[in-house]
Amino acid sequence: MGNGGRFRRFHGCVMIAAFQKLQSHFVMRGINVCQLAGHNPNQVFDKNTLRRRSYSTSTFHKTAQLQPELSVDLINIMEQKLSVIENRHAYLQAIVNQVDALPEEYFTANKELKKLRHTIDVVTELRKKHKEIEGLKLLIAETQDDKDMHQMASEEMGQASEEEKHLRYLLLKSLLPKDDADERDCILEVRAGTGGQEASLFAMDIFKMYEKYSQKKGWKFDVLDVAESDLKGYKEACAAISGADVYGKLKFESGIHRVQRVPVTEKAGRVHTSAVSVVILPQADQVDVHLRNEDLKIDTYRSGGSGGQHANTTNSAVRVTHVPTGLTVAIQDERSQHQNKAKALKVLCAKLYEMERSRADASRSRLRAEQIGSGDRSERIRTYNFPQGRVTDHRVGITSHSIDGVMQGENLDTFVDALLLQQEMDAIASLTSKQ
Amino acid sequence: MKSSSFARPSLSSILQPVFSLRPKHGRPIICSTILPKPHTPIYLRPPAFQATLSELKKWHIWAKNQATSVGSTFSDLDNGPDSTLLHRELNWLVEDALEQPAILLPQNSRNNYDDATPLSIRACLDDLYKLWKQRIEERRPFQYVVGCEHWRDLILSVEEGVLIPRPETEMILDLVDNAVKGNEELKNGLWADLGTGSGALAIGVARILGLGCGRVFATDLSPIAVAVASYNVERYNLQDRIAVRLGSWFDPLKDVQGELSGFVSNPPYIPSEDINGLQAEVSKHEPRLALDGGANGMNDLIHLCNGAASMLKPGGFFAFETNGEKQSKFLVDYMHTKVKGSFYGVNIISDFAGIQRFVTGYRA
Ligand SMILES: C[S@@+](CC[C@H](N)C(=O)[O-])C[C@H]1O[C@@H](n2cnc3c(N)ncnc32)[C@H](O)[C@@H]1O
């Protein structure tokens, strides 16, 4: 590998730091920490091919959103893409307008058109803006003598190029590969790993952290099942989180979260290291995964004997088995069997969907592997160090020194936003490297 | 009693409350039209009582110890609940009775709430002790203790005198749902739930039929059941779509003979002599009227099967719950021989435990 990887990571941090600079707790650990993350030797970046790392807060952009300035190279690449997109659009349009188009052809063309719609709208706007700018340029040249006119034209020019910049940014975003699952709700699974009781306690803390974070975001957090450990922690816990773009926001939370602290049970006051695993799955329904009732085997608790009127039990545990794959999900915490079954199916569908996704879309996961960490669930992604009061994410090399804030769900955004940004940058990088 | 009739004018003129009690042979005759007032489940009561956190913690520890001490005695004795289950029930009692149940959860023991903090509860502390004692010492069913049963997506009020709906019975609604899907005639027709108990099936059916013209009759011979079912119907705001009637099986439905699009029933089906051997929660606390199906447990099923032929209109759907394979097969056999030609599409369906639990079919 060369400097490229290091450069990329380094700037990732700078960029995020710029974004986060209002947050006083935010501390950069510098290049060394950044280096912890894996890097991809195949992607070599020249300083100039990437964008300039400065951020303008656009005036007509009310929310103080992050809007990077794009490098000349990137703009050139996008210009080329513009024509390609326009041609493609025209071609598809022609098929759809054809009276004798085959139904199949019509269908696929129409589908792609729909996908392109947003992009083409932006392209059209951008073309318009270009024309406007050309016009203004002319006007400026012609009004050298008329001071007022000249001034007005320049002002308008300033605004138009701001708008152009914003449109370019929108275009860039719409060109970046998108995961269709991002908009979905998700299933959260937290499991205590190595470290015994302490791991269970931390599993509970992490689970609650996501619960609080969800509350803060206005998302719905439904506990699906909790397996408690002897010492008041969670061996395993599972929840369904729903709201806007939940999966897209939380997907990078999957992985091993490591904790370093003095367990409540530890008399000598020694710091222990233990770990919990977090899995975030996009939610899916039975239609998404083509789930047929015939493929399901449902077991319920039986107190022996003939059931029905014979028995009165409050045990309404349900275990659902997907026969073709052998996947099973058991839920027992709800008070009615029907609802235990509904929850079990929810989790099962999410698991099947994930299996289908990784099968059908090997390239997508390869893309992901090159990006933020390996996407591997066994990868250690974050360390919560209580004695030092800090949380470090090893993929983006960021440390928050407000561990309480993070655990309260207050400062988790530090990481969530940084990871999203990293994702965007990586996508841009692969966009440019593919040229 | 408040026997609701439907809002639909064409119907309300013909639907009269029927109070004629024609109990079956050997059953007690209750000749009162004044229905008992149903109890409010704990979770719906106002948090009108207070106890300090330390008092509640003390109760909670005592209750947990009680649950633990049961071990597997009950389950060895008569398939009753074991400690694990009792612990879970205790959590639910806390959930129902406390305004802030989370405060007693083990996860919050590390939070430093002041032990003198007064907490609002929906039953007084003494009652909490009493209730849990009843659960453990008298084997009073948990659902009677808290006054409700979570069934499908419903929370139904239950009390002594009313059968606690069973999880197996939930499936009848899936069967109804399948039958009604794509069949507008069934969906907009008149339905009946015979021996409605808490009203579970009637409410479930009404919700499946939806906001169309479909209406449901719910009948029961037990005044307590009628009172509790009416209460549950009102809680789900279905009084315009469900009429609860007191009386024996089809008796209160004479006015709609031959007009039913569908009916469901989970009648008593346990053979008389088996009842005393059932787990204490059932044999000592649930109403015999809801369980006892006569010598072979088939008395009511046969009676309903005969009635089905005259009550349903052609194409009408029925679903029965039975004791299992023997009764289901007997019933199917009966339909194919004794009431030959009255039904078609007769089917036996198993519950999740693989027991041949339900018999469904259509009126020819
Ligand atoms: C097994 S319970 C079923 C209750 C309810 N349908 C359920 O599934 O939870 C049987 C019900 O039939 C009622 N029942 C018994 N004999 C009856 C009769 N002759 N006419 C009407 N209902 C009767 C009982 O009162 C009881 O509510």
Domain segments of chain A: what residues?
72-175, 184-387
CA of A289, closest CA in chain B: separation in Å?
21
The H helix count followed by the E strand count for chain A is: 11, 12
| B2 has pLDDT over 70 | no
| B109 has pLDDT over 70 | no
Structural contact between residues B125 and B55, judged by C-beta atoms closer than 8 angstroms: yes
Distance B247 CA to ligand 1 centre (A): 11
Least confident of A139-148, B28-37, B291-300: B28-37
Report the residue of chain A nearest B355, measured CA to CA: A306
**pTM, to two decimals:** 0.74
Where does A184-387 sit in CATH, by number?
3.30.70.1660
| A378 has pLDDT over 50 | yes
Please state the rounded mean pLDDT for residues A328-342: 92
Ligand 1, residues at Cβ distance < 6 Å: A 309; B 24, 163, 165, 169, 195-198, 200-201, 219-222, 225, 248-249, 266-268, 289-290
Please state the rounded mean pLDDT for residues A387-395: 93
Which bin fits B8, alpha (ψ -120 to 50), beta or left (φ > 0)? beta
Instruction: Look at residue A175 in the predicted model and tell me its pLDDT.
Output: 77
Please count the other Cβ atoms lying within 10 Å of the Cβ belonging to residue B132. 23
Distance B90 CA to ligand 1 centre (A): 29
Interfacial B residues in 19-58 facing A (CB < 8 Å): none
Percent residues over pLDDT 90 in chain A: 40
Instruction: Look at residue B107 in the predicted model and tell me its pLDDT.
Output: 60
Cβ-nearest to A314 among B79, B142, B153: B142
8 Å CB contact of A335 and B150: yes
pLDDT digits (tens, 9 = 90+) for A129-165: 999 999 999 989 888 888 888 898 899 999 999 999 8
Closest Cα partner for B328 from B359, B303, B297, B291? Answer: B359
| A223 has pLDDT over 70 | yes
pLDDT class for A21, splitting at 50, 70, 90? Answer: very low
Quick one: DSSP state of residue B5? Answer: -
Percent residues over pLDDT 70 in chain B: 89
Interfacial B residues in 214-233 facing A (CB < 8 Å): none
User: What is the rounded distance in angstroms from the CA atom of residue A223 to the CA atom of residue A208?
Assistant: 10
pLDDT digits (tens, 9 = 90+) for A237-280: 999 999 988 999 999 999 999 999 998 877 888 899 999 999 99
Instruction: Look at residue A363 in the predicted model and tell me its pLDDT.
Output: 53
Query: For all residues of chain A together, what is the average pLDDT?
Result: 78
Instruction: Look at residue B31 in the predicted model and tell me its pLDDT.
Output: 45
| B122 has pLDDT over 90 | yes
* Residue B258 in tokens: 């031959």
Chain B residue numbers with beta carbons less than 8 Å from the beta carbon of A308 are 166, 168-169, 269, 321, 323-324, 351, 355, 357
Mutate to test the pocket of ligand 1, among B19, B222, B285 (most ligand atoms within 8 A of CB): B222
Instruction: Look at residue A68 in the predicted model and tell me its pLDDT.
Output: 55
Least confident of A211-225, A388-402, A413-427, B249-263: A413-427
Beta-bridge mates of residue B265:
B194, B320
pLDDT class for A359, splitting at 50, 70, 90? Answer: confident
- Spatial CB neighbours of A45, under 8 Å, sequence gap ≥ 6: A4, A7, A8, A429, A433
Query: For all residues of chain B together, what is the average pLDDT?
Result: 89
- Give the position of tokens 């439905």: B253
| A367 has pLDDT over 90 | no
Distance B27 CA to ligand 1 centre (A): 13
pLDDT digits (tens, 9 = 90+) for B251-281: 999 999 999 999 999 999 999 999 999 999 9
Instruction: Look at residue A84 in the predicted model and tell me its pLDDT.
Output: 83
User: What is the rounded distance in angstroms from the CA atom of residue A426 to the CA atom of residue A434?
Assistant: 12
Tell me the domain boundaries of chain B.
42-146, 161-363
8 Å CB contact of B166 and A307: yes
pLDDT class for A5, splitting at 50, 70, 90? Answer: very low
Chain A residue numbers with beta carbons less than 8 Å from the beta carbon of B357 are 307-308
Please state the rounded mean pLDDT for residues B341-348: 94
Domain B161-363 has CATH 3.40.50.2000: no
User: Which H or E run contains B357?
Assistant: strand B356-363
Structural contact between residues B169 and B200, judged by C-beta atoms closer than 8 angstroms: yes
Chain B residue numbers with beta carbons less than 8 Å from the beta carbon of A338 are 151-153, 167, 170
| B9 has pLDDT over 80 | no
The Cα-based distances of A129 to A9, A71, A125, A165 in angstroms read: 34, 19, 6, 10
Give the number of beta-carbon pairs within 8 Å between A and B: 103
8 Å CB contact of B352 and A309: no
| A373 has pLDDT over 60 | no
Q: Which of A314, A343, A345 to mutate to test the interface with B (most CBs of B within 10 A)?
A: A314
Instruction: Look at residue A361 in the predicted model and tell me its pLDDT.
Output: 63
pLDDT class for A116, splitting at 50, 70, 90? Answer: confident
Distance B345 CA to ligand 1 centre (A): 26
Instruction: Look at residue B221 in the predicted model and tell me its pLDDT.
Output: 97
DSSP for B219-236, please give it. EES-HHHHHHHHHHHHHT
pLDDT class for B5, splitting at 50, 70, 90? Answer: very low
pLDDT class for B140, splitting at 50, 70, 90? Answer: very high
Interfacial B residues in 296-355 facing A (CB < 8 Å): 321, 323-324, 351-353, 355
